[in-house]
Structure 1
Amino acid sequence: AAPPGPPYGPRPRPPRDAVEAFDALYDHAAAALVRQAYLLTGRRSLALRSVEVAFRQAWGRWPEVATDRDPVGWVRSAVHEYALSPWHRFRRAHRRPDKPPADTADRILLEALLALPPVHRRTVLLYDGVGLDLPDTAAETEASTPATGHRLLRAHAELARRIPPLAGVTPERRSGMLRERLGAVRPAVSLEPRPAATVRAVSEHRARRLARAALVLTAVIAASTGYTAVTAPDHYEPPIAPGASVSGVPPLSGPPRLTETSRYLQDKLRADPAAGPHRLHPRLE
């Protein structure tokens, strides 16, 4: 069985256009990356999704990935980051591992690997499975080289405690045994990734949807800004201070209510037959 890292052997010749280059990278590394994600998570659906998400990101940022000194390492880092994200624990589909391998040794190895903390699990996979040296493993896990070495030693000690054949051997021999056993694990589920064309199509469709959503959001913000500019006041209007009583005089807060006497006099005035302007300007006759 092939090791969980990128297959050994000559790399494909760089194709001429972006589509061919992306498809070549996908065909070269996707299957191995799915296997790595499965060893990190024990979940087939999460492993496949991690690889698809990473390659969709790579296709969306293809000029950056194509000029990177290690395009496989770029995608691998994205796969591992997504696969080990703590948010997956809240998704029902990713809470429990899949059916364990049929072989007893493979099942013990996978259970022991999944029992490690995520950062230790990733360190073991990169150093023992993929075959990176200690500085490159430290760089990919964003840690110092001494810290990565301590993580590796603690992870090896825990694996040796859970896997009897790894106990009582030298660290070099233990690392070689882990590389052989990680490469020989036979999962009980299929890990076949989808075609590269499908991943590209999904990535482009999502990019179009995000572009349309961004245009709609921009239009809404522009309309809201224009409406606010038209309807907002253009000068400051100080608020009216509330009334306050002065020396027992009630504050002025509008016309007072008519008392019974005032209402009686008002009705009498309106009913007087001599009502009219001449009452205000009397003339002598």
Structure 2
Amino acid sequence: MTQSTTGTAAAQPLPSPKERRRLREAKSLSEEQVAAAVGVTRATVRSWETGRTSPRGRKREAYARLIGTADATSTSTPPPTPPALPQPPVDAPVESPTGAPVAPPTESHAETPTESLAETPAGSCGEAPAEPPAEAPTEAPTSSPTPPTASPAEAFDALYRHTAAALFRQTYLLTGRCNLSREAVGKAFDLAWQRWPEVAVDRDPVGWVRAAAYEHAMSPWRRMRPEHRRADPPPEAPGPRALLDALLSLPPAYRRTLLLHDGVGLGLPETAAETEASTPAAAGRLMTARAAVAEKLPELATATAPAEQAALLHEHLGALALAQPATSLPVPELIRTGSERKAQLWTRAAIAFTVLLIGLTLITLATAPRKYETPQSPAQKVGGVPALGGPQKLTPQDKKLQKKLGGELVHGPARLVPRVG
């Protein structure tokens, strides 16, 4: 790669990080292709597109020409042609702009690598979707669909339309239940609207909502409810049925790690951060999950290289996710109004409880005695006490002797001398 003769390589203007990603996806270029053409790693390209760093020098000029932002009057060499990547590597599956699993780009695949899973035809959960459009959209959606000057409601609606369908399909892969997946997506966006000031300034609003939806869907308490105890009927095709059974047989943490890395396309550090695990622990879970799924999928078991396994899993997960239409999701206006109504009810309940507590306190203060007086215990009859003891009733002889002794004069000791005769 030759240096520009104009000497402006270090000062080559670049758009914002979000616009860089949009331009790259509009040209149907993956991060691996850009990294190979510029001569850097995939992590460096992702760092450029998230705003953590910016390219400099000749790499800056080559990157600008590759995404189509270089000056037309520049006399530099033409932009390098990115090498073809028939299969994504193990740590970098193709990533859709909505964070949804899609099939990797192949020569026979009609869709572009950046096509969103939300763009599926109408249908209901459990029904086969209609035929996909023959042509892919000419311009892929950006990573942040919110205009800079949008109101909070408009920004929330844009985020919902951008990610709700993909999140529904992802949660279905985690739970195998359409109703639970629909409920999890609604609860996640309900919580996001309640905390919109926090979500709006988050570096990854899609990841924030995705984590909330995953936590709600995978909570063991949800499946204790009668409507969520049984899983939905599995797909009729043997391949998708085996894949879904293999996913649901994995522990929740392993299932989530496999979906985030091989399905959504997150890197291993990002997967570890979202699953609240260390990077080595996430790598161990990923390898264990792949091995468990390979036991039930003969096609996956034939792939010996980790890159081949990642590509096949990415393709099968995308196909299984696309088989679940997401048209039954509510519109974003209902999510916002329901969240606001719930917030109003909680606010009114809190105010009513506070007023009740204050009223009871005032009544207690008004009726309570100023000085405490110990109450006297009421009289009670005591039983079981013996009668009072004393001398027996005097007999007539005793009374006669008492009368006689009382009538005599007292002469001292002589009184004690008995009379004889």
Which of the pair has the greater relative contact order for Cα pairs under 8 Å at 6+ separation? Answer: 1
Give the Cα–Cα distance (whole angstroms) in 1 for the partners of residues 205 and 289 of structure 2.
Answer: 28
Match of 1:226 in 2: 362
Give the Cα–Cα distance (whole angstroms) in 2 for the partners of residues 17 and 186 of structure 1.
Answer: 32
What is the number of residues matched between the two proteins? Answer: 246
Which secondary structure does the structure 2 equivalent of 1:97 belong to? coil
Contact 2:235 2:241 in 1 (8 A): yes
Tell me how far 1:226 sits from its aligned partner.
1.7
Q: 1:5 aligns with which of 92, 96, 99?
A: 99
Match of 1:205 in 2: 341
Tell me how far 1:227 sits from its aligned partner.
2.1
Give the Cα–Cα distance (whole angstroms) in 2 for the partners of residues 161 and 179 of structure 1.
Answer: 17
Tell me how far 1:89 sits from its aligned partner.
2.1
User: Aligned AA for 2:356?
Assistant: V
Tell me how far 1:99 sits from its aligned partner.
1.8
- For structure 1, which runs of at least 5 residues remain unmatched after alignment? 243-251, 258-285
Percent identity of the aligned residues? 49
- Of 186-195 and 82-91, deviating more is 186-195
Matched ranges for 1:10-159 at <5 A: 10-11=142-143, 12-14=145-147, 15-159=149-293
Match of 1:195 in 2: 331
User: Aligned AA for 1:218?
Assistant: T
Match of 2:54 in 1: none
Match of 1:172 in 2: 307
Contact 2:243 2:297 in 1 (8 A): yes
Q: Deviations over 1:204-231 (max 9, x none)?
A: 1111111111111111111122222233
The root-mean-square deviation of aligned C-alpha atoms, in Å, is 2.5
Give the Cα–Cα distance (whole angstroms) in 1 for the partners of residues 382 and 321 of structure 2.
Answer: 93
Contact 2:174 2:255 in 1 (8 A): yes
Give the Cα–Cα distance (whole angstroms) in 2 for the partners of residues 51 and 157 of structure 1.
Answer: 29
User: Aligned AA for 1:179?
Assistant: H
Higher Cα radius of gyration: 2
Contact 2:168 2:181 in 1 (8 A): yes
Tell me how far 1:118 sits from its aligned partner.
0.8
Q: Deviations over 1:73-105 (max 9, x none)?
A: 110000000000110121111111112123221
Match of 1:275 in 2: none
Q: Deviations over 1:135-167 (max 9, x none)?
A: 111111111111111111111111111212111
Give the Cα–Cα distance (whole angstroms) in 1 for the partners of residues 210 and 194 of structure 2.
Answer: 16
Tell me how far 1:236 sits from its aligned partner.
4.7
- For structure 2, which runs of at least 5 residues remain unmatched after alignment? 1-94, 101-115, 117-139, 384-421
Which secondary structure does the structure 2 equivalent of 1:185 belong to? helix
Contact 1:102 1:188 in 2 (8 A): no
User: Aligned AA for 1:5?
Assistant: G
Contact 1:100 1:188 in 2 (8 A): no
Tell me how far 1:67 sits from its aligned partner.
0.5
Tell me how far 1:254 sits from its aligned partner.
6.6
User: Aligned AA for 1:202?
Assistant: G
- CA spacing shift, 1:83–1:186, aligned 2, 3 Å: closer
Give the Cα–Cα distance (whole angstroms) in 2 for the partners of residues 166 and 140 of structure 1.
Answer: 26
TM-score (normalised: structure 2)? 0.54
Contact 2:169 2:321 in 1 (8 A): no
Matched ranges for 1:274-285 at <5 A: none
Contact 2:261 2:268 in 1 (8 A): yes
Match of 1:281 in 2: none
- Of 223-232 and 118-127, deviating more is 223-232
Give the Cα–Cα distance (whole angstroms) in 2 for the partners of residues 233 and 145 of structure 1.
Answer: 66
Q: Deviations over 1:245-268 (max 9, x none)?
A: xxxxxxx957999xxxxxxxxxxx
Matched ranges for 1:236-247 at <5 A: 236-237=372-373
User: Aligned AA for 1:211?
Assistant: T
